[in-house]
């Protein structure tokens, strides 16, 4: 990043968000996420000052199992003085943020509501009116660390679970439902505490949530296409119904124009989870009963491999734990393509 900035290929003040894959275990005790956030924050504080630096959304997702290559996707945006609408929609981005959550709100309806509000705010920021133009929503959300949970206990407050690893699932689930509520995919009136991480038939087709111990609020990044945006990038999505659903990948790629002569692959975002039924295409899998490797690590390795084999590029973003993010055992997949040259780029 420092190199891109110093070479003038990237202007720090254009940066809206950075999505990264870091090489920890992607589970509770993953300090690679925190280290990356720490380093990037320090860099941007140095360049932009503390105020502007704090506006950049840093979403680090741990776990680069299999061929997934650690990398950063830098989302930048520039006002180009051309307010008139273009002839074609182009990629646009917007961000939103909830207030700090209380430990007892994690994984409960209140988190759903707060994330829905933050998502709407991110859509306005991205100048997207039609929910159908939203193709990827990334939420970074907190998990219940042991300390936070003990704290709540000390105050006589009951949290949704006392298992840190499980709290990641609840927080991701509530976040995804919140994004779905904002897009109209899910009816808030049907979601109560009991539905979260239970009613798997309620899901968002574009939400991706990732939990980390380094924050206590939720951050929302919305990616979509808009006539009001310009540039050569385009985004599209589809929903994988299981971890090996190569047809969904093909369809998302095709909607983004991939395989036309002049269109090249930029980035793919996908969610992965070990099918909770214990089966994939009617065949038993062992991801849920492996006490040595967490199911999310298995699942990321698979989806990462399938995506990388399709696009011929292992530098892709696959995040684990797809609760309410696509159907059970599956997850959303979004693809960004480029027609020519562009201000958005990927580095590592």
Q: Is residue 64 near its own copies by the rule CB under 8 A?
A: yes
Q: Which residues pair with 179 in a beta bridge?
A: none
CB 134 within 8 A of CB 219: no
Distance CA 161, CA 149 (A): 9
Q: Is residue 305 near its own copies by the rule CB under 8 A?
A: yes
Q: Is residue 309 near its own copies by the rule CB under 8 A?
A: yes
Q: Which residues pair with 19 in a beta bridge?
A: 59, 73
Q: Is residue 28 near its own copies by the rule CB under 8 A?
A: yes
Among 244, 257, 328, 345, binds its own copies (CB under 8 A): 244
For its own copies, which stretch binds (CB under 8 A), given 97-105, 175-183, 251-259, 295-303? 295-303
E strand intervals along 1-89: 15-22, 57-62, 71-76
Q: Is residue 259 near its own copies by the rule CB under 8 A?
A: no
Task: Return the DSSP state at 184.
Answer: T
Q: Is residue 7 near its own copies by the rule CB under 8 A?
A: no
CB 269 within 8 A of CB 346: no
Q: Which residues pair with 96 in a beta bridge?
A: 220
CB 173 within 8 A of CB 115: no
Instruction: Return the active site residues.
Output: 140, 210
| Minimum CB distance to its own copies, residue 341 (Å) | 20
Closer by beta carbon to its own copies, 77 or else 298: 298
Q: Is residue 254 near its own copies by the rule CB under 8 A?
A: no
C-alpha atoms less than 13 angstroms from C-alpha of 20 in its C-beta half-sphere:
25
C-alpha atoms less than 13 angstroms from C-alpha of 39 in its C-beta half-sphere:
13
| Minimum CB distance to its own copies, residue 232 (Å) | 23
Task: Return the DSSP state at 221.
Answer: E
Phi and psi of 91, rounded to 5°? -60, 135
Distance CA 171, CA 164 (A): 11
Site for its own copies in 264-283 (CB under 8 A): 278, 280-281, 283
Among 29, 46, 88, 190, binds its own copies (CB under 8 A): 29
| Minimum CB distance to its own copies, residue 242 (Å) | 8
Structure tokens at 115: 């994330």
For its own copies, which stretch binds (CB under 8 A), given 11-19, 104-112, 257-265, 296-304? 296-304
Closer by beta carbon to its own copies, 23 or else 52: 23
Closer by beta carbon to its own copies, 2 or else 124: 2
For its own copies, which stretch binds (CB under 8 A), given 115-123, 197-205, 307-315, 320-328? 307-315
Phi and psi of 152, rounded to 5°? -60, -45
Distance CA 16, CA 75 (A): 6
Distance CA 49, CA 34 (A): 20
Among 4, 5, 12, 23, binds its own copies (CB under 8 A): 23
Site for its own copies in 191-220 (CB under 8 A): none
Site for its own copies in 121-150 (CB under 8 A): 145-146, 150
Among 73, 105, 138, 294, binds its own copies (CB under 8 A): 294
Among 17, 18, 56, 68, binds its own copies (CB under 8 A): 68
Distance CA 273, CA 94 (A): 27
Distance CA 125, CA 219 (A): 13
| Minimum CB distance to its own copies, residue 2 (Å) | 15
Q: Which residues bind its own copies (CB under 8 A)?
A: 22-25, 27-32, 34-35, 38-39, 42, 64-71, 145-146, 150, 164-165, 243-246, 278, 280-281, 283-294, 297-299, 301-306, 308-310, 312-315, 348
């Amino acid at each position: 990043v420092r190199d891109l900035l110093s070479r003038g290929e990237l202007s720090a003040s254009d940066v809206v968000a950075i999505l990264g894959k870091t090489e920890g275990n992607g589970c509770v005790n993953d300090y690679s996420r925190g280290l990356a956030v720490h380093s990037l924050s320090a860099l941007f504080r140095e360049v932009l000052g503390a105020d502007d630096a704090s506006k950049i959304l840093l979403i680090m997702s741990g776990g680069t199992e299999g061929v997934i290559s650690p990398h950063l996707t830098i989302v930048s945006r520039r006002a180009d003085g051309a307010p008139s609408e273009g002839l074609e929609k182009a990629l646009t981005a917007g961000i939103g943020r909830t207030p700090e959550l209380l430990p007892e709100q994690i994984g409960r309806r209140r988190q759903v509501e707060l994330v829905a509000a933050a998502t709407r705010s991110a859509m306005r920021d991205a100048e997207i009116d039609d929910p159908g133009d939203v193709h990827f929503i990334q939420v970074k959300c907190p998990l219940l660390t042991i300390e936070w949970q003990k704290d709540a206990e000390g105050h006589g407050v009951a949290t949704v679970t006392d298992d840190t690893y499980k709290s990641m699932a609840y927080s991701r689930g509530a976040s995804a439902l919140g994004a779905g509520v904002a897009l109209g995919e899910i009816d808030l009136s049907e979601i109560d505490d009991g539905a979260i991480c239970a009613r798997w038939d309620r899901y968002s087709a574009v939400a991706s949530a990732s939990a980390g111990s380094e924050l206590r609020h939720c951050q929302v990044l919305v990616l979509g296409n808009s006539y009001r945006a310009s540039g050569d990038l385009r985004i599209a999505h589809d929903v994988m119904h299981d971890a090996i659903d190569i047809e969904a990948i093909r369809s998302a790629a095709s909607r983004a124009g991939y395989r036309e002569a002049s269109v090249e692959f930029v980035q793919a975002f996908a969610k992965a989870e070990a099918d909770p039924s214990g089966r994939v295409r009617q065949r038993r899998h062992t991801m849920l009963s492996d006490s040595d490797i967490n199911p999310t690590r298995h699942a990321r390795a698979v989806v990462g491999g399938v995506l990388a084999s399709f696009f011929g590029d292992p530098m892709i973003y696959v995040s684990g734990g797809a609760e309410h993010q696509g159907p059970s055992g599956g997850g959303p997949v979004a693809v960004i393509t480029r027609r020519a040259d562009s201000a958005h780029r990927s580095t590592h």
